[in-house]
Amino acid sequence: MNKAFYDLIRKVPAGRWDGIKRVYGPEIVRQLRSGVEIEYTLATNGANRLWKLLHTEPYINSLGAITGNQAMQMVRAGLNAIYMSGWQIAADGNTAGSMYPDQSLYPSNSGPEMVRRVNKTLERASQIENAEGNLSRDWFVPIVADAEAGFGGPLNCFEIMKAYIEAGAAGVHFEDQLASEKKCGHLGGKVLIPTNAHVRNLSAARLAADVCGVPTVIISRTDAESATLLTSNIDERDCEFIDTLAGRTAEGFFRLKQGSGLQHCIKRGLSAAPYSDLLWWETSTPNMEHAKVFAEAIQKEFPGKMMAYNCSPSFNWRANLSPEAIAKFQAELGAMGYKFQFVTLAGFHSINYGMFELSRKYKDYGMSAYSELQQAEFKSEPHGYTAVRHQREVGTGYFDTVMLAVTDDREVTHENLLGGKSSTLALSESTEAAQFTKEAEPIPYGLPQISVQPATEPAIARAAMQMKQNVSQDSSVQLTMDLEEGDEKVISTETIQFLASLHRRFEKKRQQILEARKTRQLLLNAGQRPKFLTTTGDIKKTNWKILGTPKDLQDRQVEITGPCDRKMVINALNSGAKTYMADFEDSTTPTWRNLIEGQKNLYDAIRGEISFEDAQSGKQYKVGPKPAVLMVRPRGWHLPELHVQIDGEPMSGSLFDFGVYVFNNARKLLGNGTGPYFYLPKMENYHEAELWNEVLNAAEDYLKIPRGTIKVTVLVEHILLTYEIDEVLYSLRDHIVGLNCGRWDYIFSYIKAFQNHRGFLTPNRSEIRMTTPFMRNYSRSVIKACHQRGAHAMGGMAAQIPIKSNAEENTKALQAVREDKVREANEGHDGTWVAHPGLVGIAIEAFAATLNGKPNQVDRLRPDVNPSAASLIEIPLGSRTEAGLRHNINVTLGYLEAWLRGTGCVPLYNLMEDAATAEISRSQIWQWVHHNAQLDDGRTVDLNMVENVINEEKAKWITKLQSHNRLDDATNLLFKFVSDKNLKDFLTLDAYKKLVQEGH
């Protein structure tokens, strides 16, 4: 019979009616239609769009809107659907103009009228963007509306469904309460109707949609989990839940058994499933186990049946769940099949809390309070917020276009809007035009001509004052390691004061971004794929440039990297490379002594006081007359500095490395004619870049150095960041001078991002090169974005080291380096990385041949580069072999053993291995084990095979190492990494904790 309904409701996707049961035939639908076919475009488009999202996204997360403008901001911020709550309509959005509790006391036309109002607002937003020539989104997102208990019986459900369709709703839900006694799902006194009566209401709603010719998404809701009463025992399906011993109420209602709510919900869900598209059971608490029981019971009988979940404001979330559980709550629900999730009363709480806080502060501080709100609005503009220009937001410019159209017959464009002949245009002489655009003054440094809050904000200045509180005598700041003679030059009372202030201001935000990473990974695990952002259109489309690049960073054709031990610092500065990146991250084991000695070595080098004598050879090392420009890489946001405890918690390794270096050396570097330059690693999204920008601004204010003095290059070494590189450049525009293709970590991030999906199995590590499609597209994207914004695009690492013992193999290795660097130069990179001084000359030759005497090729744009989102994650092809598995295991064992001894940069098999290359190896072992990868010889990789190979490769290492080694510890760590159910984020986290426990 469903085939006939595809003819009756023509605009539906294939399979739309699979599993849907109707109690009527197509002939009754034809009979109930009018003689004129009316098209309900918004309802039809919305329903089909909602259906597609339900089948293509891990889940849809929505918020309840209480006004049209709230809904508009939801769409502008990137939400894919809007929820329309009956509770909110009762409270402050009904046609009676009264405030009611959620008990169906308001007129039944209120919900459809609210949907109509929201759609009119979205229509206006679309008109405004279109009139401005900048229509960048489909504003008409699906609206899912609350029909309560239908405001009566089947006929009422039929009529209210029609009203919602006429208003443009995409989905409507009906609950199984008695309409005349209806209560909020989190109130007492709820009375259920019999199961068959609820099914009849659902059928009436479906019939109304069919008559209208619209594939409205129908959601069945049951309140059986907490309801205590039932109107009738007429339906046998309800009888097992009736408490026959308790008797009936004074109103004649049956009492329901206590403790049977979940099973009652399941039974009602199974009964409603054939008549609805999604099932929603209203819950009293955010109980994941109960959600799982319900989902499994439904999907056992109806495989693939989708469900909805109210992430209710009636739950005290922190009282019920940990922050970690809250962060992953929706992703886990989505994986169970709860495809539509929503916060019903988000609009109510947002409006009330926001206005209360503004009023409270306004009472005490007057216009300063309102100004703070305005500054917060300015700060949100780069993310797509536009309501700070409220006249434009509501359509003043749109109606000026209308006025021009009837005043003058010439072509109306956005450019002549303010210069037309009409003398009554509203926007052209408004205070908004005068005070909220940049037209009155030139935009410095080529920033985009959109209203953006300047970098120096009053809030930053105030924070800088707070950072100067004297904490030197604060017992809540503790070093867990003793200082040695000479350490005071880098760890002074003033340095500790600065570090403590950084921690107190930024640690909470750091923890938030780490939680956000976990949530994003859960989404990826559930099947979400990376996408380019749609909420930052102004950043991508406007023609802006970074602030500028210092003279000594214009030529970065070859950069050498390495740890900060004294001999390495001298050799790197003397290497002939243009810059030296002193690395506190992947090539340094972060023992306390390594970190402090590294800081002291850089301190001495900046002051021309560094030298070194080799104890065995007696050779003297000093820095020559033309040293490389110094850059420093602090640790990533994920790593703590466990040796520094502030207010009882460890500070960020990033802030410690950055803070010690910049506090002690910034002014001296400026006096030397250079500056404090940094490489920033391991970011996963542009919000992490925003946090770095706040840190840099605060440090400059504290040190009283001009804005933009501190310069940074960001390593694009996570696959997700490639989708947000414009946003990263913009977020750091006062400070950034380039991006770098951190190729090894990037491959590791590919494995980590898609760890849950067998379809992303990778080949041997050695077969993933920069010519592999997803790697090539990534590097080209970096080049295009950087050059468009005036920044350097740095190539990746050449990890080879000269092979002194074998001339033939050495020639092959150097040729491979040469080819790699020629490729980078030809692609458009402005420079590259090497790990050994012996490769500097080869890299310089490769770039010199392309640059022809220029310091860089930032002026070379790449308009030909336009990779799709899918091309950036294209699955690499290649072989998986036992040799590849053995190499991964051998390298990881060798690296971990050295790392645990305090050496973070290890030459292995003619390559310089650091934490990034070790991460590829150990994560790939995990991936092959947990997805039962098949080797080229037909064998399946499992834990037993890997354990055997680990033992065999360990035996090889025993013959190479001295008796006092860390091989047992390395073996234990590696086996833990590959056998854990979940892939560990970073091997250095567990390994670092072990070192600290040992007193390092």
- The Cα 292–Cα 312 span in angstroms is 17
pLDDT for 385 beyond 60:
yes
Phi–psi pair at 834, nearest 5 degrees: -135, 155
**Residue at 296 is within a domain:** yes
**Residue at 309 is within a domain:** yes
Determine the average pLDDT of the residues in 163-173.
98
Last residue of a domain, one of 373, 403, 420: 420
Q: In the annotation, is 633 catalytic?
A: yes
Determine the average pLDDT of the residues in 104-116.
96
Q: Which residues pair with 621 in a beta bridge?
A: 612
Q: How confident is the model at residue 95 (pLDDT cuts 50, 70, 90)?
A: very high
pLDDT at residue 53, as a whole number: 96
Last residue of a domain, one of 853, 872, 891: 872
Between 57 and 448, residue with greater pLDDT: 57
Q: What is the mean pLDDT of the chain?
A: 91
Burial track 895-912 (b if 16+ CB lie within 10 A, e otherwise):
bbbbbbbebbbbebebbb
Q: Identify whether the C-beta of residue 113 lies closer than 8 Å to the C-beta of residue 167.
A: yes
Q: How confident is the model at residue 309 (pLDDT cuts 50, 70, 90)?
A: very high
pLDDT per residue over 641-694, tens digit each?
A: 999 999 999 999 999 999 999 999 999 999 999 999 999 999 999 999 999 999
Last residue of a domain, one of 281, 312, 343: 343
Between 149 and 461, residue with greater pLDDT: 149
Query: Both 794 and 933 in a single domain?
Result: no
Q: In a 3-state reduction of DSSP, which class is residue 191?
A: strand
pLDDT at residue 405, as a whole number: 81
**Residue at 469 is within a domain:** no
pLDDT at residue 423, as a whole number: 61
Q: Identify whether the C-beta of residue 561 lies closer than 8 Å to the C-beta of residue 832.
A: no
**Residue at 382 is within a domain:** no
Determine the average pLDDT of the residues in 344-356.
95
Q: Identify whether the C-beta of residue 5 lies closer than 8 Å to the C-beta of residue 17.
A: yes
What is the CATH number for 52? Answer: 3.20.20.60
Task: Pull the structure tokens for residue 350.
Answer: 């947002």
pLDDT at residue 430, as a whole number: 65
pLDDT at residue 459, as a whole number: 37
Query: Both 87 and 117 in a single domain?
Result: yes
pLDDT for 935 beyond 90:
yes
pLDDT per residue over 185-232, tens digit each?
A: 889 999 999 999 999 999 999 999 999 999 999 999 999 999 999 999
Q: How far is CA 37 from CA 46, 165, 815, in A?
A: 19, 14, 73
pLDDT at residue 112, as a whole number: 97
Q: How confident is the model at residue 431 (pLDDT cuts 50, 70, 90)?
A: low
- The Cα 218–Cα 205 span in angstroms is 8
Task: From the candidates 268, 914, 922, 966, give the one annotated as an active-site residue.
Answer: 914
Instruction: Give the CB-side neighbour count of residue 621, counting CA atoms within 13 A.
Output: 18
Sorted by sequence, the CB contacts under 8 Å of residue 783 that are 6+ apart come out as 793, 827, 828, 829, 862, 865
Nearest in space to 188 (alpha carbons), one of 230, 236, 227, 130: 227
Helices (H), 149-250: 154-167, 195-212, 236-239
For the ranges 363-372, 451-460, 752-761, 952-961, the lowest mean pLDDT is seen at 451-460
pLDDT at residue 4, as a whole number: 87
**Residue at 483 is within a domain:** no
Q: Which domain holds residue 847?
A: 488-872
Among all chains, which residue has been given the structure tokens 């946003």?
727
pLDDT for 422 beyond 90:
no
pLDDT for 428 beyond 80:
no
Query: Both 258 and 399 in a single domain?
Result: no
Query: Both 844 and 897 in a single domain?
Result: no
Taking the complete model, does pTM exceed 0.85, yes or no?
Answer: no
For the ranges 255-259, 463-467, 505-509, the lowest mean pLDDT is seen at 463-467
pLDDT for 54 beyond 70:
yes
Q: How confident is the model at residue 440 (pLDDT cuts 50, 70, 90)?
A: very low
Q: In the annotation, is 914 catalytic?
A: yes
- The Cα 393–Cα 374 span in angstroms is 15
Query: Both 629 and 608 in a single domain?
Result: yes
Query: Both 753 and 886 in a single domain?
Result: no
Task: From the candidates 268, 517, 633, 743, give the one annotated as an active-site residue.
Answer: 633
Query: Both 332 and 407 in a single domain?
Result: no
**Residue at 192 is within a domain:** yes
Query: Both 332 and 218 in a single domain?
Result: yes
The beta strands (E) that lie in 883-976 are given as 906-908, 911-913
Q: What is the total count of domains within the chain?
A: 4
pLDDT for 286 beyond 90:
yes
pLDDT at residue 427, as a whole number: 64
pLDDT at residue 905, as a whole number: 86
Query: Both 817 and 901 in a single domain?
Result: no
Say which amino acid occupies 765. R
Determine the average pLDDT of the residues in 897-901.
94
Q: Identify whether the C-beta of residue 616 lies closer than 8 Å to the C-beta of residue 627.
A: no
Query: Both 722 and 772 in a single domain?
Result: yes
- The Cα 662–Cα 680 span in angstroms is 14
**Residue at 458 is within a domain:** no
DSSP string over 125-150: HHHHHHHTT---S-----EEEE-TTT
DSSP string over 813-826: HHHHHHHHHHHHHH
Determine the average pLDDT of the residues in 121-132.
93
Say which amino acid occupies 179. A
- The Cα 773–Cα 418 span in angstroms is 48
Query: Both 818 and 936 in a single domain?
Result: no
- The Cα 929–Cα 650 span in angstroms is 34
Q: Identify whether the C-beta of residue 832 lies closer than 8 Å to the C-beta of residue 821.
A: yes
Query: Both 693 and 816 in a single domain?
Result: yes
pLDDT at residue 475, as a whole number: 63
Helices (H), 607-652: none
Check residue 591 and report its DSSP letter. Answer: -
What is the CATH number for 495? Answer: 3.20.20.360
pLDDT for 464 beyond 80:
no
pLDDT for 446 beyond 80:
no
**Residue at 26 is within a domain:** yes
